[in-house]
């Protein structure tokens, strides 16, 4: 069986470009005992993937030149030598940017398509949903009446953060780029207020939307939006930090002035907590009620999700570049085949 694959061709300096990836066709090995052959149906595109293109020290190893680009996938079993998995079964795997893959069956989570659409395993019922759930509830710990602010708020993490915040009785304020996304935040996701970071009066909008200051800043973007938000943090505020997408393409330290001392001083004088975190799927599954809470919230409409589906594996590089610039709306997924 052949697999069409997107492999890393050259590490980008700054934003990924036409030289970063290339398409390759590889012959897959025959499956061995315990293995399955998968047809990849859906590939998740996520901001963290920018980190995998770089050799900078991080929490996971970089993708090597010539290696298939990594990523979470949903696939169907085409052939099986694993006792628990049958032909046609849906599974979640980490097969990366390719059309077919051979995986050991023990590494795969089987999906029940009757519970929720299988694509949710890449979004609200997958890593992004868990990131929102863990970061907000375990680190942010919003109390009823408190104000929670999240940027990239129409994305799969941000939209879940705002909706869970409201379920917990907090005021949810979302930040997004452009009036259309802002309308979506209020109308579709039920945020209490939306702030457009591309508007010239962004800071005034933020102040108006957070009259009592900010108690939880779920941070996934960084940059100038973060600057404005952190100035409004209340004493005792919590900042779960799970992404800095605005900096992922940075090639050097930005010019001054140096904002670090002022930032630290704000943490000190207002007793603020900042906690960087990477979601640990096993830990969330074990230590929280994610698997009962989240499906229930989806069923009762407390948590809505939005998907942005692009067709064809060869579209992945361009869609990924757009993701880093905020071009899409909702969870970005590539429909592979």
Using CB under 8 A as the criterion, which residues of the chain lie in contact with a copy of itself when the complex forms?
51, 57-59, 222-223, 226, 235, 241-244, 247, 250, 252-278
- Residue whose structure tokens are 């989806």: 298
What is the token pair recorded at 104?
Answer: 């050991």
Q: What minimum distance in Å lies between the beta carbon of 250 and a copy of itself?
A: 7
Which of helix, strand or coil describes residue 149?
strand
Q: Which is nearer to a copy of itself, 106 or 212 (CB)?
A: 212
Residue 154 near residue 181 (C-beta atoms within 8 A): yes
Q: Which is nearer to a copy of itself, 51 or 178 (CB)?
A: 51
What is the token pair recorded at 149?
Answer: 């602010």
Q: What minimum distance in Å lies between the beta carbon of 242 and a copy of itself?
A: 7
Quote the CA–CA distance of 2 and 313 in Å, as a whole number: 14
Q: Which is nearer to a copy of itself, 25 or 271 (CB)?
A: 271
E strand intervals along the chain: 2-8, 21-27, 35-44, 73-80, 90-93, 100-104, 109-111, 147-150, 171-176, 193-196, 214-218, 233-241, 273-276, 307-311, 331-335
Q: What minimum distance in Å lies between the beta carbon of 137 and a copy of itself?
A: 16
- In 3D space, the residue among 195, 215, 211 whose CA is nearest the CA of residue 203 turns out to be 195
Q: Which is nearer to a copy of itself, 184 or 323 (CB)?
A: 323
CA distances from 194 to 182, 189, 245, 263 (A): 5, 10, 20, 25
φ/ψ bin of 116: left (φ > 0), alpha (ψ from -120 to 50), beta (otherwise): beta
Quote the CA–CA distance of 249 and 141 in Å, as a whole number: 31
Residue 131 near residue 138 (C-beta atoms within 8 A): no
Q: What minimum distance in Å lies between the beta carbon of 86 and a copy of itself?
A: 38
The helix, strand and coil proportions of the chain, stated in percent and rounded to the nearest 5, come to 30, 25, 40
Q: Which is nearer to a copy of itself, 29 or 276 (CB)?
A: 276
Q: What minimum distance in Å lies between the beta carbon of 279 and a copy of itself?
A: 10
Q: Which is nearer to a copy of itself, 74 or 272 (CB)?
A: 272
Q: What minimum distance in Å lies between the beta carbon of 265 and a copy of itself?
A: 6
Q: Which is nearer to a copy of itself, 311 or 325 (CB)?
A: 325
- In 3D space, the residue among 303, 323, 233 whose CA is nearest the CA of residue 270 turns out to be 233
Q: What minimum distance in Å lies between the beta carbon of 180 and a copy of itself?
A: 28
Q: What minimum distance in Å lies between the beta carbon of 239 and a copy of itself?
A: 9
Q: Which is nearer to a copy of itself, 259 or 299 (CB)?
A: 259
């Amino acid at each position: 069986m052949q697999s069409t694959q997107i492999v890393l061709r050259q590490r980008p300096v700054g934003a990924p470009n036409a030289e970063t990836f290339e398409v390759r066709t590889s012959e897959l090995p025959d499956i061995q005992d315990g293995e399955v052959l998968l047809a990849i149906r859906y590939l998740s595109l996520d901001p963290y993937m920018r980190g995998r293109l770089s050799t900078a020290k991080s929490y996971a190893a970089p993708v090597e030149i010539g290696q298939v680009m990594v990523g979470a996938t949903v696939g169907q079993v085409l052939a099986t030598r694993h006792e628990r998995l049958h032909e046609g079964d849906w599974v979640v795997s980490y097969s990366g940017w390719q059309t077919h893959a051979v995986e050991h069956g023990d590494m795969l989570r089987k999906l029940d398509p009757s519970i929720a659409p299988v694509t949710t395993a890449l979004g609200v019922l997958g890593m992004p949903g868990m990131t929102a759930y863990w970061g907000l509830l375990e680190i942010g710990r919003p109390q009823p009446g408190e104000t929670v602010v999240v940027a990239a708020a129409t994305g799969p993490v941000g939209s879940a953060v705002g909706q869970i915040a409201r379920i917990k009785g907090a005021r949810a304020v979302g930040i997004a780029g452009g009036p259309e996304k802002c309308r979506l935040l209020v109308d579709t996701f039920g945020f209490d207020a939306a702030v457009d970071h591309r508007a010239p009066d962004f800071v005034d909008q933020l102040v108006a939307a957070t009259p009592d200051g900010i108690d939880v800043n779920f941070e996934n973007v960084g940059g100038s939006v973060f600057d404005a938000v952190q100035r409004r943090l209340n004493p005792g505020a919590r900042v779960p930090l799970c992404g800095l997408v605005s900096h992922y393409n940075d090639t050097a330290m930005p010019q001054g002035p140096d904002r670090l001392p002022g930032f630290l001083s704000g943490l000190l004088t207002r007793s603020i907590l900042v906690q960087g975190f990477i979601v640990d799927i096993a830990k969330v599954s074990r230590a929280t009620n994610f698997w009962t809470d989240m499906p229930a919230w989806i069923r009762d409409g407390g948590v809505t999700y939005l998907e942005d589906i692009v067709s064809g594996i060869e579209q992945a590089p361009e869609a990924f570049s757009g993701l880093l610039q905020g071009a899409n709306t909702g969870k970005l997924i590539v429909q592979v085949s």
